A and B are shown apart, each in its own frame.
Chain A
Amino acid sequence: MTAAATRPATTGSGALTALPRFIAALRRVSWFAAVGQALDDDERHDATRYLAALGFPECPLVAATDWRAAEAATRDPDWDPKWWAAEENARAALLAAAGKLHGRHALMTALSRVTLEASDVAMGAAAVAAARTGIADPALARVAAGAAAQAAYQAALALTAGADSDHPFAIKYRLFAAGHWPLGLGGGRLRIF
Chain B
Amino acid sequence: MTAQAKSPQVKTCEELKTQPEEFRAACEKIVISHAINELYGAQVFDEPAVAFAPTPYAKWLTCRVAMEEYGHHVRFFELGREMGIDADRMIPGKTAKRPLSIFEYPLKTWEEFVAIKLLGDLAEILQVEDLLHCSFHPLRNLARMTMPEERFHAQFGADFSQEMIETSAGKKRLQQAINRLYPSLPAFFGGPKSRNNEIFRKWGIKQRTNEEMREDYIARAQEVTAKLGLILPKLAEAAA
Instruction: Give the B-binding residues of A (Cβ under 8 A).
Output: 71, 73-77, 79, 84, 112, 115-116, 119-120, 123, 138-139, 142-147, 149-150, 183-184
Q: Is the CB of B57 within 8 A of A71?
A: yes
A146→B152 contact, CB < 8 A: no
Residue in B64, B70, B152 whose Cβ sees the most chain A Cβ within 10 Å: B64
What distance in Å separates the Cβ of A121 from its nearest Cβ neighbour in chain B? 11
Which residue of A112, A115, A139, A183 contacts B56 across the interface (Cβ within 8 Å)?
A183
Can you give 26 A-B contacts (C-beta < 8 A)? Answer: A73-B56, A74-B56, A75-B55, A75-B56, A79-B55, A79-B56, A84-B56, A84-B59, A112-B70, A115-B70, A116-B67, A119-B63, A139-B159, A142-B60, A142-B64, A142-B152, A143-B57, A143-B60, A143-B64, A145-B60, A146-B59, A146-B63, A146-B67, A147-B63, A149-B63, A150-B63
Min C-beta distance of A24 to chain B, whole Å: 18
A142 nearest CB across to chain B (Å): 4
| Inter-chain contact A119/B54, CB cutoff 8 Å | no
Partner of A146, one of B54, B55, B64, B70: B64
Q: Say yes or no: A116-B74 contact (C-beta < 8 A), given A75-B55, A138-B152, A183-B56.
A: yes
The interface residues of chain A lying within 8 Å CB-to-CB of B67 are 115-116, 119-120, 145-146, 149
Question: Is the CB–CB distance between B56 and A145 below 8 Å?
Answer: no
Chain A: interface secondary structure? helix
CB-defined contacts of A79 to chain B, threshold 8 Å: 55-56
Nearest to A75 among chain B residues (CB) is B57
Q: A77 — which chain B residues lie within 8 A by C-beta? A: 54-55
CB-contact partner of B71 in A75, A120, A146, A183, under 8 A:
A120
Give the residues in chain B near A145, CB-CB below 8 Å: 60, 64, 67
A120 to B149: give the CA distance in the assembly, Å: 12
B62 at the interface (CB under 8 A from A): yes
Instruction: Say whether A76 contacts B63, CB under 8 Å.
Output: no
For A112, what are the chain B residues with a Cβ–Cβ distance below 8 Å? Answer: 70
Q: Is B156 close to A, CB under 8 A?
A: yes
Instruction: Find out whether the CB atom of A119 lies under 8 angstroms from the CB atom of B55.
Output: no
CA of A143 to CA of B64, assembled, Å: 7
